[in-house]
Amino acid sequence: MVGFSRSAFSLSRWILLLLLLQLLNLPLQVIAMLESHPCAPGEYWFTDFCCKSCPAGMFVQKPCTVPHTQGLCEKCHPGTFTESDNGLDDCRRCSTCDKNQEMVTDCSATSDRKCQCQTHRFYYDPESPELCRQCTKCPQGIPVLQECNSTANTVCSQSASNHRDRRFLLLPSLSVLIFAIVVYYILRR
């Protein structure tokens, strides 16, 4: 009886080990299956074979029933688009402009809507074009080097360039000159 339970225990361990190996091998089998059925450029994989893609501005209404042929393609509905040949079963929804943005180009069947920041606003983070911030205003008397636009904030000069500020640069030289004249007259007497 002891020998039987040992062999049953050993058999169950072998079965578990085989199941585990089979589970670990499953992703490799899926990859091998996908690689063994590659579709040509301009085709997509549907169930058991490749179908020709629908052109940009359309989607697959009904897939092909014969390999390497095109199924039924339908034009994207208003407010949706596809930018390239595809095997999608629906078109993508057009994006909307944020409250601080204005539309540059409307959505069409083949391209998404393009937005930019409104006047006096700029993209705070180029990686996140939805985030528009109010443009900076240069302090009074500080010249603007670059005006604010939708992609960059205002660039202000480091200092003012008015004539009154330049007089302060002459003040030390003028003081030395006056001091020299006074000393000259005193020594001349």
In 3D space, the residue among 118, 75, 71 whose CA is nearest the CA of residue 99 turns out to be 118
What does the alpha-carbon distance between residue 7 and residue 47 come to, in Å, rounded to a whole number? 44
Give residue-wise pLDDT tens across range 127-149.
776 788 999 999 999 999 999 99
Q: For all residues of the chain together, what is the average pLDDT? A: 82
User: What does pTM read for this prediction?
Assistant: 0.57
Domain boundaries, the chain: 35-93, 101-156
What architecture is the 35-93 domain classified under in CATH? Answer: Ribbon (2.10)
| Tens digits of residue pLDDT in 5-31 | 555 556 667 676 666 656 666 555 545
Give me the mean pLDDT over the 143-160 stretch.
Answer: 89
Burial bucket for residue 133 (CB in 10 Å: 0-12, 13-18, 19+): middle
- pLDDT at site 1: 47
**101 membership: H or E segment, kind and range:** strand 101-105
